[in-house]
Amino acid sequence: MNTQLFKSDTRGTANFGWLKANFSFSFGNYFNADRVQFGMLRVLNDDTIDGGTGFGTHSHANMEIITIPLEGGLEHRDSMGNEGVIRFGEVQVMSAGSGVEHSEMNASKLEEAKTLQLWVFPDRENVAPRYDQKSFDIENQINTFVNIVSPNDQNDGNALWVYQKTFFHLGIFDSNTTTNYSVRITKNGVYLFLIEGEILINNQVLKARDAMGITDFDSVEIQIISKSKILLVEVPMN
């Protein structure tokens, strides 16, 4: 098993006043040749968006985009005619495919919204754009990983799906417990992002917003030091 630790304070940053962002991978004006992507995972942005502001209409193509609100909600509008609010406890996926325009505005005029947005390269190009969102009761499923995103051809209907051999899991774990994650597809890697808490993997301590890339393994043991919320992203490495 190979592991690489990425401390939270080594991420790229941006502060536009209305938006405070941390970039796990090269994005916008932040470029790090060693952090362009992890396998098929291209973007993991940790955003705080002021009330009454947000991302105006912009376009995407040939990317699987997954949005996970951590606090508050985002009002979504797109060129496919979708309109609605995605809130804490929900997850949104969008296959940009042949091209889509959308906007994401803070649903509150006053309160901040905090979100994670991830982009994954698709396994096919120029598909018809699509959008979906789903609620997941993570808070009441303690000490287990809940599958929130699966490949389109390996989805049991409980998770959202995308055009890539990727599996996203979220989990909340009590302190002083141990959990394991077994890779779903041989040769896939895992990018683990610690949203909250403190954990130990392979004798390395991760604290809130730290991440770890894990490759060449079948199963990994995760020791929970303090109550933790973990995002696991399993992706093809090439």
Kindly calculate the radius of gyration of the chain based on its CA atoms and give it in whole angstroms.
Answer: 17
169 known ligand binder: no
Which amino acid, residue 112?
E
76 known ligand binder: no
Which amino acid, residue 192?
L
125 known ligand binder: no
**227 phi and psi angles, rounded to 5 deg:** -45, 130
**216 phi and psi angles, rounded to 5 deg:** 55, 55
Residue 7, class by beta-carbon neighbours within 10 Å (0-12 exposed, 13-18 middle, 19+ buried)?
exposed
Q: CA 216 to CA 10: how far, in whole Å?
A: 24
The per-residue DSSP string of 155-196 comes to --SSSEEESSS-EEEEEEE-TTEEEEEE-SSTT-EEEEEEEE
- DSSP label at residue 27: B
Q: CA 212 to CA 29: how far, in whole Å?
A: 23
Residue ranges at the known binding site for Fe cation? 58, 60, 102, 104
- Output the known binding site: 58, 60, 102, 104
